[in-house]
Amino acid sequence: MPENLTQNEVDSHTDPSVAKQYDNKTPKVEQITDFFKLVDGNKISMLNTYRDGVGMVGRSMAVSKRSGPDILYLANGHSQKMKDLASNKEVQITFQDGKTQDWISVSGTATTVSNSDPRIKEIYVSMIKAWFGDLGDGKHDGGPDDPRMTLIEVKSKYVSYYKKEVGTLGMMKEVGLATVTGKVADTGVLRELQEADLEKARTMS
């Protein structure tokens, strides 16, 4: 979170909650590793697409797999989100941990792949069938070979996330002190990963 400003910065009317909000001290490799851990600990995300005439539209999606900094989903090829992606492949994925208040925002480009992609069988789990149903024709059964079963791969272009670093009592103390002293509460770290960082992340597990 923001650091104290120098007198010169104060005199220039710089807002401390904005000017120094991002963590620029932690090595990028550590920031990437923490990003991976946060995603892996929050399997349910919001996938936001752009719909012509409406704007951003979001829906809850279970992450099928994290591949480095990129996210894979299994989805019904007949769903409205597929129509959204056909006209605009830019998406945003968000995660929020209600217990810790950690959050992640991923901006990226989505590619949809038909049922022929072998990765579908690799990441398929039986509970996915519950969201497809069995149409009783021996083909559209919600299984990995169901022609409706489509892979969405989101290639990350920009990531920002917040990682809480204090417990509940620490949070209360920081907020209380900040309210009294006028300083900015120091409860965790806000970080961002640019495209070059994400390219590096693709070489990591």
Identify whether the C-beta of residue 28 lies closer than 8 Å to the C-beta of residue 193: yes
The total domain count for the chain is 1
Residue 194 belongs to a domain with what CATH number?
A: 2.30.110.10
The first and second tokens of residue 116, run together, are 């022929």
Largest pairwise CA distance in the chain: 73
Domain presence at residue 167: yes
For residue 125, name the pLDDT band (cuts at 50, 70, 90): very high
The first and second tokens of residue 54, run together, are 């409406």
Beta-carbon contacts of 70 under 8 Å, excluding residues fewer than 6 positions away, are 108, 153, 154, 155, 156, 202
What confidence tens digit (pLDDT) does each residue in 175-193 have? 455 455 545 555 578 999 9
Selected residue with higher pLDDT from 177 and 151: 151
Beta-carbon contacts of 66 under 8 Å, excluding residues fewer than 6 positions away, are 36, 39, 40, 72
Domain presence at residue 2: no
pLDDT value of position 170: 46
Q: Domain containing 69: what range?
A: 7-201
The answer to whether the predicted template modeling score (pTM) of the entire model surpasses 0.85 is no
pLDDT value of position 46: 98
Beta-carbon contacts of 96 under 8 Å, excluding residues fewer than 6 positions away, are 42, 102, 103
Domain presence at residue 192: yes
Residue 155 predicted with pLDDT over 60: yes
Domain presence at residue 153: yes
Of the candidates 185, 120, 180, 186, the one whose C-alpha atom is nearest the C-alpha of residue 150 is 120
Identify whether the C-beta of residue 191 lies closer than 8 Å to the C-beta of residue 154: no
Domain presence at residue 1: no
Pairwise CA distance, residues 65 & 87, whole Å: 25
pLDDT value of position 114: 83
